[in-house]
Chains A and B, each alone.
Chain A
Amino acid sequence: MLKFTQDHEWLLVEGDTATIGITQHAQEQLGDLVFVELPKPGRSVDAGGAAAVVESVKAASDVYAPIAGEIVAINQGVVDDPSLVNADPMGKGWLFKMKIADRSQVEALMDEQAYRTLIDSADPA
Chain B
Amino acid sequence: MSDVVTAVPLKRTPLYRLHLDLGGRMVPFAGYEMPVQYPSGILKEHLHVRAATGLFDVSHMGQFEIRSRTGGGEDAARALESIVPMDIVGLAPGRQRYALLTNEDGGVRDDLMIARLGEVFLVVANAACKDADESYLRQTVSPSCTIERLDDRALLALQGPAAEAALARLVPDVRSMRFMDVRAMEVMDVACTVSRSGYTGEDGFEISLPASHAEAVACALLANGDVAMIGLGARDSLRLEAGLCLYGSDLDATTTPVEAGLEWSIQKVRRAGGSRAGNFPGAEKILHQLANGAPRRRVGLRPEGRAPIRHGAQLFAEQGAADAIGVVTSGGFGPSVNAPIAMGYVTSPGTLAGGRIYADLRGTRVPLRLSELPFISTTYKR
Partners in one complex: yes
What is A's interface to B at a CB cutoff of 8 Å? Answer: 8, 26, 29, 31-32, 34-35, 37, 53, 55-61
B46's partner among A8, A26, A57 (CB-CB below 8 A) is A57
Name the A residues within 8 Å of B42 (CB-CB).
31-32, 56-58
B236's partner among A31, A34, A58 (CB-CB below 8 A) is A58
Name the A residues within 8 Å of B44 (CB-CB).
32
Name the A residues within 8 Å of B367 (CB-CB).
none
Q: Are B306 and A31 in contact (CB under 8 A)?
A: no
B-side binding surface: helix, strand, loop or mixed? mixed
A53 and B335 alpha carbons, distance in the complex (Å): 19
Over the window 272-293 of chain B, the binary record of Cβ atoms lying under 8 Å from chain A Cβ atoms (1 yes, 0 no) is 0000000000000000000000
Name the A residues within 8 Å of B36 (CB-CB).
58
Name the A residues within 8 Å of B333 (CB-CB).
34-35, 55-57
A60 and B308 alpha carbons, distance in the complex (Å): 8
Name the A residues within 8 Å of B43 (CB-CB).
31-32, 34, 57
Q: How large is the interface on B (under 10, 10 to 19, 20 to 34, 35 or more residues)?
A: 20 to 34
Q: Are B1 and A35 in contact (CB under 8 A)?
A: no
A29 and B37 alpha carbons, distance in the complex (Å): 11
Name the B residues within 8 Å of A58 (CB-CB).
36, 42, 233, 236-237, 332
Name the A residues within 8 Å of B233 (CB-CB).
31, 57-58
Chain B residue at minimum C-beta to C-beta distance from A30 = B1
Name the B residues within 8 Å of A8 (CB-CB).
1
Report the minimum CB–CB distance from B285 to chain A (whole Å): 35
Q: Are B41 and A34 in contact (CB under 8 A)?
A: no
Known A-B contacts A53-B362, A57-B335; A35 and B41 likewise in contact (beta carbons under 8 Å): no
Report the minimum CB–CB distance from B235 to chain A (whole Å): 11
A53 and B46 alpha carbons, distance in the complex (Å): 23
Report the minimum CB–CB distance from A115 to chain B (whole Å): 14
Q: Are B335 and A35 in contact (CB under 8 A)?
A: no
Report the minimum CB–CB distance from A92 to chain B (whole Å): 19
Report the minimum CB–CB distance from A80 to chain B (whole Å): 10
Chain A residue at minimum C-beta to C-beta distance from B2 = A122
Chain A residue at minimum C-beta to C-beta distance from B232 = A58
Over the window 305-334 of chain B, the binary record of Cβ atoms lying under 8 Å from chain A Cβ atoms (1 yes, 0 no) is 011101000000000000000000000110
A37 and B303 alpha carbons, distance in the complex (Å): 15
Q: Are B307 and A37 in contact (CB under 8 A)?
A: yes
Name the B residues within 8 Å of A56 (CB-CB).
42, 333
A61 and B237 alpha carbons, distance in the complex (Å): 18
B14 at the interface (CB under 8 A from A): no
Name the A residues within 8 Å of B340 (CB-CB).
34-35
Name the A residues within 8 Å of B335 (CB-CB).
34, 57
A56 and B45 alpha carbons, distance in the complex (Å): 14
Name the A residues within 8 Å of B1 (CB-CB).
8, 26, 29, 61
A56 and B233 alpha carbons, distance in the complex (Å): 11
Report the minimum CB–CB distance from B52 to chain A (whole Å): 18
Report the minimum CB–CB distance from B289 to chain A (whole Å): 33
Q: Are B332 and A57 in contact (CB under 8 A)?
A: yes
Beyond A34-B340, A57-B233, 18 additional contacts (C-beta under 8 Å) are: A8-B1, A26-B1, A29-B1, A31-B41, A32-B41, A32-B44, A34-B306, A34-B308, A34-B333, A34-B335, A35-B306, A35-B308, A35-B340, A53-B362, A57-B332, A58-B236, A58-B332, A59-B310
Over the window 140-170 of chain B, the binary record of Cβ atoms lying under 8 Å from chain A Cβ atoms (1 yes, 0 no) is 0000000000000000000000000000000
- A–B complex contacts, Cβ < 8 Å, 17 sampled: A26-B1, A31-B42, A32-B41, A34-B308, A35-B307, A35-B333, A35-B340, A53-B362, A55-B307, A55-B308, A55-B333, A57-B233, A57-B234, A57-B237, A58-B332, A60-B310, A61-B1
Report the minimum CB–CB distance from B182 to chain A (whole Å): 32
Name the A residues within 8 Å of B46 (CB-CB).
57
Q: Which B residues between 210 and 261 are near A, CB-CB below 8 angstroms?
A: 233-234, 236-237
